[in-house]
Amino acid sequence: MPRLEGDALLALMDRNLVAVCCADTLATPGGEVVEAPGLVLCRTPRGTFGTNMTIVTGPTDVLTLRAATARMYGAGAHPFSVWTREHADAAFQAELARAGFVQIHREPGMALLPEAVRPRPLPPEIVIREVVDDAGRADYAAVASEAFAVYGAPPESTAEHFAALASVIGPVTQAFLAYRDGRAVAGALLYMAHGVGGIGWVATRPEEGARGYGAAVTCAVIDAGLRRGAAFLNLQASPMGAPMYARLGFITPTHYRWFLAPE
């Protein structure tokens, strides 16, 4: 397969990001996905501005955005953010700023090409298992809820994404957990879409950090994605996760920006 780069790589990264967000939302009980011109809108019942997102996918304008988000999220009923593509939406980002939208986050869009994969030894004290049942699903919910609370995410908001078995197992989805002495300490999820292995919900219990557990479960997802024929692996990195992914060989071809609507 020819090496992916430039616009072709970015386009697949964008498509995989949208597919991952939609899959996660629709696997959440009560989750809803709606399309509007140049936009994909996701919402869950207890979603925050980090998980209720309106993703810019093509040409659009602020009037279209305002109308679509008003229908989807109501007048303050559901928090949300607007996600733009740094490589494609400079003009729209400027339009958002003029309309009073405030940028709150700039998230690395990272990719791992197969030739850049770096084998990493597994910490000897853990075992990694695929999630196959409701017990594993509950373990994943617990790990993710603790991990994302560090960023201010309410545990009940994170947990709702793992209320159904479809959130961790499916035709294109597979969750992995690292266990130490029978207790789940870290997890990561594979979402296959558009021939790309999306990586999501990488989480380590806060007290278990800096031991290589997050890297270990991420490597399990990388291996699974490549076995399924992924052209590359794709993720959007948290502030704490980005250095780890760089050490694993990920590059950062772009960033995604989050905006909040004016009150």
Q: pLDDT tens for residues 122-135?
A: 999 999 999 999 99
Whole-angstrom CA distances from 142 to 111, 170, 171 are 27, 20, 23
| Residue 79, pLDDT above cutoff 60 | yes
More confidently predicted of 263 and 220: 220
DSSP state of 167: G
Q: Distance from first CA to last CA of the chain, Å, rounded?
A: 48
Looking at residue 75, its pLDDT comes to: 78
**HSE of 245 in the Cβ direction (CA atoms, 13 Å)?**
26
Q: In the β-sheet with 233-236, what is the strand arrangement from edge to edge?
A: 32-36, 39-43, 53-56, 81-85, 251-260, 102-112, 233-236, 196-204, 183-193, 173-180, 127-130
Take residue 237 and report the two structure tokens written for it.
């990195």
Closest to 109 measured CA to CA, from 14, 22, 177, 244: 14
At 167-205, the pLDDT tens digits run 999 999 999 999 999 999 999 999 999 999 999 999 999
Three-state secondary-structure class, residue 30:
coil
Domains of the chain from N-terminus onward: 6-109+255-260 (3.40.630), 114-253 (3.40.630.30)
pLDDT in tens, 143-170: 999 999 999 999 999 999 999 999 999 9
Predicted confidence at residue 3, as pLDDT, reads: 66
Q: How many other C-beta atoms lie within 10 A of the C-beta of residue 110?
A: 24
Band (18; pLDDT cuts 50, 70, 90): very high
